[in-house]
């Protein structure tokens, strides 16, 4: 599996769990509109931990 395929797989998993979490609570309450969605930020954190960056 290439790194690109792995990142896509992680993003799909994160998106599925994110949908389950936000149906019970609203994560964002205040602040400015983000340029990157929550799924992308979480995917970057998970992938960087796995790749040890």
Write out 7-29 in H/E/C secondary structure.
Answer: HHHHHHHHHHHHHHHHCCCCCCC
The residue whose two tokens read 């990157």 is 36
Largest pairwise CA distance in the chain: 39
Centre a 10 Å sphere on the Cβ of residue 39 and count the other Cβ atoms it contains. Answer: 16
pTM (2 d.p.): 0.70
Q: What pLDDT tens digit does each residue of the chain (53 aa) get? A: 888 898 889 889 988 888 888 777 777 778 888 888 888 888 889 889 988 86
């Amino acid at each position: 599996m290439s790194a690109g395929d792995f990142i896509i797989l992680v993003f799909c998993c994160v998106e599925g769990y994110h949908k389950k979490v936000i149906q019970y609570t609203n994560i964002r309450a205040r602040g400015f509109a983000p340029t990157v969605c929550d799924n992308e930020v979480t995917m970057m954190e998970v992938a960087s931990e796995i790749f040890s960056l």
